[in-house]
Amino acid sequence: MDLNYTDEQKAFRQEVRSWLEKHVPETPLPSFDASREGFEAHRAWERVLADGRWGMVTWPESYGGRGLDLIQWLIFEEEYYRAGAPLRVNQNGIFLLGPTLMEYGTDEQKSRFLSSMASGDEIWAQAWSEPQAGSDLASVRATAVLEGGEYVLKGHKIWSSRAVFADWAFGLFRTDPASQRHKGLSLIFFPLNAPGVRVQAIPQIDGETGFAEIFLDDVRVPAFNRLGGEGEGWNICMATAGFERGLMLRSPARFQVAARKLVELYKAHEAEVEPTVRAAVLQSWMDAEAYALSIYATASRLAAGGHIGPEASTNKIFWSEMDIAIHKAALSILGARAELLRSAPEAGDIGRWLDGYFFSLAGPIYAGSNEIQRNIIAERMLGLPRA
Amino acid sequence: MDFRFSEEQTMTADVVRELLTDVCQPADLRRLMGEGAARDEARWAKILEMGLAGALVSEDQGGLGLKAIDFVQIAEACGYAGLPEPLVENAGVALPLLAAFSGNVRAAALLERALAGEVTVTVAHPANPFVADADTAEAVLVVRDGAVHLVETGRAKIVAQPSVDPFRRLFTVEFEPSAETLIADTEEAAAPLAAALDRGALFAAAQMLGIAQRCVGLGVAYAKERQQFGKPIGSYQAVKHHLATAQVKIEFARPVLHAAAAQLEQGDLYSRARISQAKLACADAADVAARTSIQVHGAMGYSWEVDVHFFLKRGIALTNWWGGPAFHRERVAARVFARPLGPEHTFAREAENA
């Protein structure tokens, strides 16, 4: 065990830091979920990142990456959050679909989709859930029927993050109409502007439109758009979910920066708050550190050839519950001002804590609800019998 | 940067774990309790045969020259087994502390016998109001006004302070400090005593992580066997989710513990905060896991017959051993409120931020 960065890793950190200092926009970009303008501003930022080959540092150079390892990815993420750089509008693509494409895609699919993903030219949405297939994802009903080298997609997807403004979506479709449950599903990509696609925004509790419904009415896409074999969609989907829960969706730096800001907020209001808040603030810092250390341990194991397993589910539970706790602590410091909009004359330093709190409440639901994660832990880590 | 144990570290811990699996099962604990003996001499002899008494003493001084990171998984195994014998307190804390004073003739002579496994040594540290295993120890390292005295237990007044944990033997120790008993003055003693506190807290944390995993394991085993409504209770989500929640606590205490072990040698504000964080996280995991295990066992969980209570009691004891939660939270606060925070400081050390 060696918990020291190598000289090379230290130099890499400096390189990332100085690039970000030169390029990160001085004023925060408008939300990518609230308007087309905000979305395009984030796309423009993705292009800046891609031009510097910082879009996805772990990807091979041929797809716009730098071929770096997961420890270097963590260092990049630490500097990225430290710099307060914009949220990644293409996270569904670069963090989830990208690694899955890398593992299951043909060379032709990789060259078609990965570079445009890394550059931000094509921004991706997820299309997994359906009105009757939430936690029970294997009950998807949307169908894809092969006709003359094309799939004809039909169905209704929902809770699709980024779908309002994104260019493409990837989703699960039943390619074998006679199949049940996990069998007969395939993972298929479709352009969100294809004929027969209708996207309807769903307003969220924060008033923004981060997710949407997608209605597919005889949407035709080439068979080329299927990732992996026909009927293998479920297993590929679970691999994607493993990455999502396990490593890439929420990098630890996000919470370490939030914990740092929480400590700063606490210090500014220490005299006004009740003593229990101090313990909550310290716990937030400790939890963010624990999550970071855990991810370093996982990254070290993966870098040495290990695989991510059901412990990914413990990560998802931990960060989602921590995120709520961090924001709750902040709201308790803000007290009566917590409910104010930032436009209120007396808002002072309330920042974005309330928005962050709302968003944190979605954490235990998306990417597989925490109830599902606890089932996975109980059955696959602890060996308890299935229901 | 490589957050993994070496094969050697894992192998050493595996050997200890296998030995304890053979000789330290709950049935063995119950037999010892029935006999009323202080320790199982046969088991203790087997542990000593592994040469672990001098694990953390340097090779120059006749030890194995291992570091905290080499010993932390051994301490976890001791917690998992509920080991009554003082491997952790003797080898993990007392002997490296004694070795720090080996310039003193009495300390050197005692160290030699302790490394040979002939005797054990215990510590009366200001962090603990009681002294563990003073009845079986040859001598106690007692801190008085910051200085360290070496006192043969035969020359001290030892008063038993019975613990609810049938395998913890606690005492208060009274003696007359003198020039003869003194082995290190305040200045010389300060750094070794700080290191002893760090090791004591770290290895108490490690034992609590082992306790937590044992409690979850006992709960899982019972939940697979016990049937209600025609099915194993472990197939119901309410039971599954309890146990999963306890496992999440364990999964996020473990990397903190292991980082704390790796960073212990730094001996600075950062490493001390990490050790204290590990102590808090492992105590929390042990608490949640023990309560969960009792709940999953139902009425059986409240019975003397089920073994969970041994681990519950050890967890309660270790939560306050080598500093309780309030003490350790303040050591975390000292780092959080006075040093730079953020993702680039996860592995910081004082030398770089001074």
Express each pLDDT in B48-64 by its tens digit.
999 999 999 999 999 99
**Do B53 and B95 touch, CB atoms closer than 8 A?**
yes
Minimum-distance CB partner of B240 among A82, A296, A375: A375
Express each pLDDT in A234-260 by its tens digit.
998 887 666 655 577 789 999 999 999
User: How far is Cα B12 from Cα A384, in angstroms, rounded to an integer?
Assistant: 30
**Among all chains, which residue has been given the structure tokens 């997710």?**
A211
For residues A196 and A307, the model is more confident at A196
CA distances from A30 to A27, A34, A184 (A): 9, 8, 41
Express each pLDDT in A167-181 by its tens digit.
999 999 999 989 888
User: How far is Cα B136 from Cα B87, in angstroms, rounded to an integer?
Assistant: 13
Question: Mean pLDDT score of chain B, rounded to an integer?
Answer: 97
Supply A214's token pair. 């997608």
Express each pLDDT in A220-239 by its tens digit.
999 999 999 999 999 988 87
> Letter for the amino acid at A353?
W
User: How far is Cα B155 from Cα B178, in angstroms, rounded to an integer?
Assistant: 12
CA distances from B50 to B54, B91, B137, B324 (A): 10, 12, 20, 32
- What pLDDT score does A336 carry? 95
Question: In A, which residues are within 8 Å of B273 by CB distance?
Answer: none
User: How far is Cα A245 from Cα B251, in angstroms, rounded to an integer?
Assistant: 15
- The pLDDT of B184-203, averaged and rounded, is 98
- Whole-prediction pTM value? 0.96
pLDDT at B192 over 90: yes
How does B245-273 read in b/e, with b if 16+ C-beta sit within 10 Å?
Answer: bbbbbbbbbbbbbbbbbbbbebebbbbbb
**DSSP helix, strand, coil percent of chain B (3-state; round to 5):** 65, 10, 25
pLDDT at B354 over 70: no
- The pLDDT of A50-70, averaged and rounded, is 92
Residue B312 banded pLDDT, cuts 50, 70, 90: very high
pLDDT at B322 over 70: yes
pLDDT at B141 over 90: yes
CA distances from B257 to A5, A297, B14, B51, B86 (A): 19, 12, 18, 24, 21
- What pLDDT score does A244 carry? 53
Minimum-distance CB partner of B280 among A286, A314, A377: A286
- The pLDDT of A297-319, averaged and rounded, is 89
Contact assignment for B262 to A286 by CB distance below 8 Å: no
Contact assignment for A256 to B342 by CB distance below 8 Å: yes
| DSSP, res A87 | P
Give the CA diameter of chain B: 72
Express each pLDDT in B226-253 by its tens digit.
999 999 999 999 999 999 999 999 999 9
Residue B73 banded pLDDT, cuts 50, 70, 90: very high
User: How far is Cα A298 from Cα A302, in angstroms, rounded to an integer?
Assistant: 6
- What pLDDT score does A309 carry? 80
Tell me which of A231-245, B88-102, B157-171 is least confident. A231-245
**Among all chains, which residue has been given the structure tokens 């730098």?**
A66
User: How far is Cα A177 from Cα A155, in angstroms, rounded to an integer?
Assistant: 13
- What pLDDT score does A306 carry? 83
- What pLDDT score does A151 carry? 98
Scan residues 179-238 of A and list those with Cβ closer than 8 Å to B. none
Minimum-distance CB partner of B2 among A81, A292, A300: A300
Q: How far is CA B190 from the centre of its chain?
A: 21
Question: Mean pLDDT score of chain A, rounded to an integer?
Answer: 94
For residues B336 and A250, the model is more confident at B336
CA distances from B238 to A21, A310, B250, B289 (A): 49, 19, 19, 15
Express each pLDDT in B259-287 by its tens digit.
999 999 999 999 999 999 999 999 999 99
Please say if A244 is a catalytic residue. Answer: yes
